Amino acid sequence: MKYTTEWITVRYGETDQMRFVHHSNYLRYFELARLEWLSSMGVSYAEMEREGILMPVAHASLNFKSPLFFGDVFRVTVTLKKNPMATLDFDYVITNQKDKIICTGNTVLAFLSPETKKPMRCPKFLLEKFA
């Protein structure tokens, strides 16, 4: 399954002294894409947290190809690699307005029990959304 965001414009505060988008912001862009995708499927991350479903990031990797600069526009494509079990495994590709690949990456989110803080299976309602 795959989702692509609308165009996003780089804000000045996301850049560093070299005028590049600071590397930490790419993880924020990944998160934005994940949350936007879930929302488009009618899934509220805030509601899941209120229901006690915890989904911390267990792994994150980024591979920078080319920088983004203040004023650039880009999209994030997020792909769910496989059906969720106890984790959600996402790949990402950020492309700019010229369709140039800027960054690729991966995150793995784990489902944790709110009581034990130990891994648990993906909730059924979420499995159905990804089916």
Classify each residue of 37-48 as buried b or exposed e, where b means 16 or more C-beta atoms within 10 Å of its C-beta.
bbeeeeeeeeeb
The label of the residue with tokens 């790419």 reads 26
Cα separation, 3 vs 82, in Å, equals 14
Catalytic member of 16, 72, 89, 99: 16
* Sign of the alpha-carbon dihedral angle for 15, 17, 23, 28: negative
16 catalytic per annotation:
yes
Catalytic residues: 16
